[in-house]
Structure 1
């Protein structure tokens, strides 16, 4: 199949072999090169389709759900390939997987009912989440009421949530302010035992729902 694609793209002789071998290597298709296409798994069919699309090294590449049907390792490989090609190509990806946006895109456009409802970077997209820059803390053996009381004195903390009724607190900042440094210093100065602390990037699915349902 890939030999056929190379030939209709105008390659001949050694060029066909070189182009096909490069595509096979990039998509790791060595184990199935002699198998009929109809016997391949969905993941391998997806990778074969991507191989034929990049075989002629196009300047513009349009991909529809490029990692659909792939296992986590294959997704990582394909996303790595897309990132490697990105500096030299215009790559447009159509996808419903929001994790794809965060993983490989430098610009995101959300279309709902034929209208563009968002156009910006993935960071801009995540920043619209209600928990963007929120700080989540997991504590062990601490009096949460005392911890909450101390946190309430931090400027730019809008509200404090208890997550799933456990020893986990989520601190929602005012207007997406960066509060992690202030929170970390407070935990250290007060001697609170913190098992884990991290900054929430934002829930992309929440933003997507808000944009599309509102539209």
Structure 2
């Protein structure tokens, strides 16, 4: 397979691929959670990763980040193969898993200090970065409350803050608005748009309104396979102007 960074000289620069899934598959006995998943996300893109529950989105994201080993294929982050060079790739990556694990007895501030120390930040760098993510994620009102006492929305913000702490180039976010109320979702969307100005983002969701509100492009997966990779307008056309209908056609076995 040709290197995905290669292109013909057309007189225009080609954006660097920052997230690459190359033939990713994950088998559990005879069951394929993901099968031959391939796509890339270029520098500066915000791509929505769509699919129904159980489609293989979380499995694919875990393989991309190196959290689980693929049965076949590999993922690359900023050019680093996440099975062979995970540590260096992780320097570029902020990952927020669905219902990401937090330490309930710790405050957001103490948790951020812990993660900063784990990443080897200097005292000055730690202070600067914690202050920065507190502002980005709007956590100032809860920084010294036990995480177990926080609302779902604030817990999501705390998870986001640790993903941003080391200023990664790439964000992989699995259902960051799951379980949030409309005001909280609005806040997450605002944060995503702000972050997309400087970062490459792959955002897993099955909420179509989020696609219209935020995404540059859509990759859709169903039953472990990619069934669509393109822009929002072309996806809408599949459903005769209706994203819900397009989603149904591509994931419910109908012929497009």
- Give the alignment's TM-score, normalised by structure 1: 0.63
Query: Counterparts of 1:76-95 in structure 2 under 5 Å?
Result: 76-95=186-205
Q: Which position in structure 1 is the counterpart of 2:141? A: 31
State the aligned residue count.
144
Between structures 1 and 2, the one with greater strand share: 2
Report the aligned-residue RMSD: 1.5
* The structure with more radius of gyration: 1
Q: Which position in structure 1 is the counterpart of 2:3? A: none
**For the Cα contact (< 8 Å) 1:20–1:55, is it kept in 2?**
yes
Query: Counterparts of 1:101-140 in structure 2 under 5 Å?
Result: 101-130=211-240, 132=241
Runs of at least 4 residues off by over 6 Å: none
The higher-RCO structure (CA 8 Å, 6+ apart) is 2
**For the Cα contact (< 8 Å) 1:5–1:52, is it kept in 2?**
yes
Q: Which position in structure 2 is the counterpart of 1:65? A: 175
**For the Cα contact (< 8 Å) 2:239–2:247, is it kept in 1?**
no
**Structure 2 regions of 5+ residues with no counterpart?**
1-110
**For the Cα contact (< 8 Å) 1:46–1:69, is it kept in 2?**
no
Q: Which position in structure 2 is the counterpart of 1:51? A: 161
Distance 1:122 1:10 in 2: 41
Between structures 1 and 2, the one with greater helix share: 1
**Structure 1 regions of 5+ residues with no counterpart?**
133-202
Distance 1:114 1:15 in 2: 41
- The Cα of 1:2 is off from its aligned counterpart by 0.9
Distance 1:40 1:208 in 2: 34
Distance 1:101 1:212 in 2: 16
- Give the alignment's TM-score, normalised by structure 2: 0.53
Distance 1:75 1:22 in 2: 21
1:208 corresponds to 2:251? no
Q: Which position in structure 2 is the counterpart of 1:40? A: 150
Distance 1:27 1:89 in 2: 15
Query: Counterparts of 1:149-164 in structure 2 under 5 Å?
Result: none
- The Cα of 1:71 is off from its aligned counterpart by 2.7
Distance 1:73 1:27 in 2: 14
